[in-house]
Structure 1
Amino acid sequence: MKKHLQDRVAVVTGAGGGLGRAHALELARHGARVVVNDLGGDRPDSAAMRVAEEIRRLGGEAIVDGGDVTDFARMEAMVAAAVDEWGRVDVLVNNAGILRDKSFAKMALDDFRAVLDVHVMGAVNCTKAVWERMRAQNHGRIVMTTSSSGLYGNFGQANYGAAKMALVGLMQTLALEGARHGIRVNCLAPSAATGMTAGVLPGEALAGLAPEKVSPGLIALVGDDAPTRMVLLAGAGSFECAHVTMTQGVFIGEAGDAAERVRRSLDAIRDRAGERVPESGWEQYQLELSKAGLASEVA
């Protein structure tokens, strides 16, 4: 097997079990040296320690970090430890997460904040901790873990869905900012049987959703030839791509009945014929000003 990541250094958060464990093992199989992060993972009997030992038994290299992704200082220390051990960090997989599922009517705001803090600020903290090093070495690969719950919605997961869609927005901008420094940023939306999906999916479905079937997609997002700004969906050995698109829409102008005309035009506005995937948010301005006859204002 070709080792696409030989001697690259990868950090995987939430890697004590489930998807994180599968990602860590797959990265090691492809030659990466792996930081196995998991909350409390530096205890001698922890799941993260077992994952690291599993990597070593397979001939790979691994160290363990037990820091909380919501603690920026701990994430800085984790990255410093990786650099002390191996000299660099090439790959960051923001995988750590929690669930606090309830309908929005019954959801406590503390549960909403907790999910945002782990998924969004956890990813921000880890990314900030590696960002300047990746810029300086002109190479970096960052993967955010999004979800179909964020992309398309899911009953009872307003907090989780909001957090997961926020990571898509984070990816979009960081991919633009990192491009000239050799940093590529992508999202992975997994369908997998893990501790977070136990009790959510029926048993027969869970049997086909082994986390290991997702991780090959991760490898495609972190290699030297990785894409950037891709939302890769993966599960049960199948892979798809999601896009945030923009339709051609309709120009209404400033008529006194503009609101009524918009209301009557909603079908035409959402008509997907000729839709496109914008290169940046600026394209909305360009399209709308062009239709208004003001294209010269945005040259």
Structure 2
Amino acid sequence: MNNAGIVRDRSLLKMTPEDFDAVVKVHMYGTFNTARHAAELMKEQGYGRIINITSQAGLRGNFGQTNYGAAKAAIMGMTFVWSIELGKYGITVNAMSPAGATRMTEALFARTGEAPPPEANPALNAPMVTWLASEEAAHVNGQILGRTDFAYTIYRHPMQIGYMYREGGWDVEGVSENFNKIFAQQLQHVGLAMPGGMEFPK
């Protein structure tokens, strides 16, 4: 299970290359380096389970988290690729987007002065992760799971939800004339709805 992580939250206009590198190296490179060595041993034994940790920041975006969101989205990409590459060796690769109050999220609750609610207990993530690591979960591969409150979730992979076709291709004028007619009702919501008082400083 690849769970190491840090945050260095700043908006794009305030983020330094050092802020970006620090988070990417821990999350993305940490996940790659651990899985790379573990996969060798798992291949030899013909069995293995890799569980990566992603985040809503990677799934939907979150203000002030360019570095964190990019790394977590990259981890989902690695999950998809590794599930394809390693499945033939009896190795499954899935990702979990957990929820919970941990040392990494202490600053969020500090902003409100409130204690984390019962559903913020990080131990609530453990049953799903434990099951994914079991032999019983051999048929689950390349999936993104998550937790919200007292519920577990599974995410649909990115896929086309609209289609705009014209014989011979499009020009700018054609796109301008037709985009809203075809795609306006399918534009996707971006970002997390943070509880009051937990918003990142602008």
Q: Give the TM-score normalised by structure 1.
A: 0.56
Structure 1 portions without partners, runs of 5+ = 1-92, 273-299
CA distance in 1 between counterparts of 2:183 and 2:166 reads 10
Q: Partner residue of 1:220?
A: 131
Moved over 3 A (4+): 204-207, 269-272
Q: Deviations over 1:75-105 (max 9, x none)?
A: xxxxxxxxxxxxxxxxxx0000111011111
Please state if 1:139 is matched with 2:56. Answer: no
Structure 2 portions without partners, runs of 5+ = 187-202
Q: Deviations over 1:11-44 (max 9, x none)?
A: xxxxxxxxxxxxxxxxxxxxxxxxxxxxxxxxxx
Answer yes or no: is the 8 Å Cα contact 1:172–1:229 preserved in 2. yes
Amino acid in the other structure paired with 1:224: E
Which of structures 1 and 2 has the larger relative contact order (alpha carbons within 8 angstroms, sep 6+)? 2
Residues 131-280 of structure 1: matches in 2 within 5 Å?
A: 131-201=39-109, 202=112, 203-226=114-137, 227-243=140-156, 244-255=158-169, 258-263=171-176, 264-265=178-179, 268-269=182-183
1:234–1:267 CA distance, 2 compared to 1 (3 A): farther
CA distance in 1 between counterparts of 2:89 and 2:180 reads 41
Q: Determine helix, strand or coil for the equivalent of 1:192.
A: coil
Amino acid in the other structure paired with 1:219: T
Pick the aligned partner of 1:117 from 25, 32, 40.
25
CA distance in 1 between counterparts of 2:22 and 2:43 reads 30
CA distance in 2 between counterparts of 1:149 and 1:143 reads 18
Q: Determine helix, strand or coil for the equivalent of 1:179.
A: helix
Moved more, 246-255 or 227-236: 246-255
CA distance in 2 between counterparts of 1:171 and 1:206 reads 31
Amino acid in the other structure paired with 1:120: M
Q: Kindly, what percent of the aligned residue pairs are identical?
A: 32
Amino acid in the other structure paired with 1:186: N
Q: Deviations over 1:92-123 (max 9, x none)?
A: x0000111011111111111011000000000
CA distance in 2 between counterparts of 1:225 and 1:251 reads 44
C-alpha displacement of 1:248: 4.6
C-alpha displacement of 1:220: 2.4
Who wins on radius of gyration, i.e. which is larger? Answer: 1
Q: Give the TM-score normalised by structure 2.
A: 0.81
CA distance in 2 between counterparts of 1:232 and 1:271 reads 27
Q: How many pairs are equivalent?
A: 179
1:133–1:104 CA distance, 2 compared to 1 (3 A): same
Amino acid in the other structure paired with 1:234: R
1:197–1:185 CA distance, 2 compared to 1 (3 A): same
1:271–1:143 CA distance, 2 compared to 1 (3 A): farther
CA distance in 1 between counterparts of 2:6 and 2:171 reads 44
Amino acid in the other structure paired with 2:131: A
Answer yes or no: is the 8 Å Cα contact 1:147–1:190 preserved in 2. yes
Q: Determine helix, strand or coil for the equivalent of 2:164.
A: coil
